[in-house]
A and B are shown apart, each in its own frame.
Chain A
Amino acid sequence: MSESERKIRVIIAKPGLDGHDRGAKIVARALRDAGMEVIYTGIRQTPAMIAEAALQEDADVVGLSILSGAHLELFPHVLDACAERDILPANTLFFCGGIIPEEDVARLQAIGFQGVFGPGANTNDIVDFVRERVPAPA
């Protein structure tokens, strides 16, 4: 029993209109099994909803899942909504997954998603990624 117990808190959200949340749920479950507290917000989230959840829950990590192909359209809006609330790649770990073509990975990384995980990604790799990259508390 440590005097001060710190848990990694992760938001897992699905922006946009596709309703396929199996991947998001598998990642949520894997992070839970790694001892993290995962706030699952459900499908069809607007950028503002995701940013507001990240703010209220004081999340260390924000993970987005999308299968519709609208990632280059939607993800920058999520980052903008987060930035309005001072939730920035500098103080929060952003990662994403779904059907994301190889040629889009670099662009997503350039705008602030440190991790981009496609189909077939190993959940252990995602867990390790989060553990290694999660920012230290302010």
Chain B
Amino acid sequence: MPRTASDHAATLVAGLREGNRRALARVLTEVENGSPAGREALRQLFSATGRAHTIGITGAPGSGKSTVTNMLAKAYRAQDKTVAIVAVDPSSPFTQGAILGDRVRMQDLSGDPGVFIRSLASRGALGGLSHATLDVVAVLDASGRDVILIETVGAGQDEVEIAGAAQTTVLINTPGAGDDIQAMKAGIMEIADVLCVNKADHPGVDALVGQLRALLSLGGERDWQPPIVRTIATQDDGAGELVDAIAAHHDHLAGSGALAARERDRLRRQVVALARAQLMAGLLRDEGAESRLPQLLDEVAARRLDPHSAAAAWIAPRRPA
């Protein structure tokens, strides 16, 4: 590479600031790959972040996340807001490859320069997003998008990272999934700011809404009661109501001071997670670390050493950085 990473970053950032979409796409790649140029670009762009309304879309596989995202994007475009979509799909744990298929449900956004869609593979992250999702969102934010829709991988119970990444989290439920709600109520139900009941033309929708109401009523007094909105996203039915519910939540956050508190909490988690990753990277850069591990694993496998002690022994000989 003839140019240095910082020159490369400066060229891309300048292009991004001029509204060049190719430069934006390139910055996103560098940031997603965690390259030196990506980190430099992020450093230069970070002061321009914090302006977009970030909205998380989550729910079980097949609940209609992409279709609801598509519907919302059209609704925001009708309000003349620019939109970015970050759609995360799972990477194979075996080959690390991925098929990213969310664009298939977003065909009618194509051709609108006010919409920018980026597909991300989860790349081994387990929380429903990828490790670089927050950085990708930051770059899109800095590019001046008004609304950023973040679609998670198909979520079950524990994929709750989206709550820390977005200002408003929309949880999609669908009728006929019966016991899934029971399974979901412990983890993911707790992060919902807005409950979207999609496929509302399917049988069982009234029962589902009743169950969701009953679940919410168990929560006791809260300063925000998640509204339940029925949608048929394939027909854009309920788009206005969903947009209104999201706006009401955003107003509530802004009015109560919780928006700043959430932001601070998100930044704290991000800084701590990055520090953890850097410590780990530092450990692995230590030349002896990789070679010491197999021997320790032999001891653990033979039950002569427990995993906690092995981890301590692995880290111990490391020279201070």
Contact = CB atoms under 8 A, between A and B. Distances in A.
Interface of A: 1, 3-7, 9, 28-29, 31-42, 44, 46, 48-49, 52-53, 55-58, 85-86, 137-138
Contacts, number: 94
A137 B103 CA distance: 24
Given A1-B281, A55-B22, A31 B33 contact: no
B104 A56 contact: no
A75 B117 CA distance: 23
Interface string B89-102: 00110011111110
Interface of B: 1, 21-22, 25-26, 28-29, 33-36, 91-92, 95-101, 103-104, 107, 110-111, 116-119, 121, 123, 280-281, 284
Contacts of B97: 31-38
Contact of B281 (A3, A7, A34, A56): A3
6 tightest A-B CB contacts, nearest first: A32-B97, A42-B104, A58-B25, A4-B35, A49-B110, A58-B29
Given A5-B123, A38-B97, A58 B28 contact: yes
B21 A39 contact: no
Tell me the dominant secondary structure on chain A's binding face: loop
B110 A28 contact: no
A38 B98 CA distance: 6
B21 A55 contact: yes
Contacts of B35: 4, 6
Contacts of A34: 95, 97
Contacts of B28: 58
B10 to A, nearest CB: 14
23 contacts: A1-B281, A4-B34, A4-B35, A5-B123, A6-B33, A7-B33, A29-B99, A31-B97, A32-B99, A35-B95, A38-B97, A40-B104, A42-B107, A49-B111, A52-B110, A52-B111, A55-B21, A55-B22, A56-B116, A56-B117, A85-B22, A86-B22, A137-B1
